[in-house]
Amino acid sequence: MSIVLQLDRVTFRRDRKQILHGIDYTVRAGEHWAMLGPNGAGKSTVLGFCGAVTHPTSGTVHVLGEQLGKVELQALRRSIGHVNPRHPLRSPLTVLEVVLTGITGTVETPSRWEPAAAELARARELIDLLGMTARAADRWPTLSQGERGRALIARALVGDPHLLLLDEPTTGLDVAAREQLLETVDLMHRTHPELASVLVTHHLEELPEGTTHALLIAAGRVVAAGPAESVLTNANVTAAFRHPIEVEHRAGRWSARAARRSSARAAG
């Protein structure tokens, strides 16, 4: 499979503080990665590289075959879908209008811009695929957080990206809405088999069944990276979060809880 994203010995400093220490990370087409770690681990910074937003202090970042620092970023970003539940929309756009802004790469609808017939058809097709047809004409302020999440996935996919980034997509959702959104992500995995994705979260319970790989990061360093079942172990998750954790994988879904004292002593 072709390489979609590659970080090689990447470091990052901000205000004289070292945020990342020699990160190596490779994502290939069709892989679905989860990036997990505690607050302050450096996940958002790594995601900034993935989205062609942040440049490394040292090391190299290649996104879709282009090296950051040697490519026009705006053009590159149009090939990257980004789902951010804190989408900063201020206008009361309809669901259809929000999805169409994925084509222009803007938050608001550009003035005097009109979608082509094929673009409009593509947007409606995705809205239907994600179960939002009945809400297509509804305006953003009237949507639930879960409905917004599905609309943002459609927005991210409308430009046919090669890389999809999901930044804590279940933030603010209740259990039912979370499960509906994760089902939507799994549907996307099946309908877009070549698409690579990176989902950032703090919680193993928020991983879709289609997760294939995982990156555990703590204190700006990689704890473990690779196939999910070999990375998301008691020992690795405990090391990343610096607390004894028991991990369970059942029926395609993950869960975690604090380890019992006897288990914690045995792990130590």
Q: What is the pLDDT of residue 64?
A: 94
Q: What is the pLDDT of residue 72?
A: 85
Q: If 0-12 CB within 10 Å is exposed, 13-18 middle and 19+ buried, where does residue 142 land? A: exposed
What's the token pair of residue 154? 């459609």
Q: What is the pLDDT of residue 85?
A: 85
Q: If 0-12 CB within 10 Å is exposed, 13-18 middle and 19+ buried, where does residue 267 land? A: middle
The CATH class for the domain spanning 1-79+161-232 reads: alpha beta
Say how far apart CA 166 and CA 175 lie, in whole Å: 18
225 or 104: which leads in pLDDT: 225
Contact 169, 199 (CB under 8 A): yes
What's the token pair of residue 135? 């809400």
Q: If 0-12 CB within 10 Å is exposed, 13-18 middle and 19+ buried, where does residue 8 land? A: middle
Cα radius of gyration (the chain): 19
* CB atoms near residue 118 (< 10 Å): 8
Q: What is the pLDDT of residues 111-168, one digit of tens each?
A: 888 999 999 999 999 999 988 999 999 999 999 988 999 999 999 999 889 999 999 9
Flag whether pLDDT at 210 surpasses 90.
yes
Local confidence band at 60 (pLDDT 50, 70, 90 cut-offs): very high
User: Model-level pTM?
Assistant: 0.89
- Backbone torsions φ then ψ of 42, nearest 5 degrees: 115, 10
Contact 41, 19 (CB under 8 A): no
Q: What is the pLDDT of residues 62-105, one digit of tens each?
A: 999 999 988 888 888 888 999 988 898 999 999 999 999 998 88
> Any idea where the domains of the chain sit in the sequence?
1-79+161-232, 88-160
**Residue that is written with structure tokens 């994925």 in the block:** 102
Handedness of CA 86, 88, 92, 96 (dihedral sign): negative
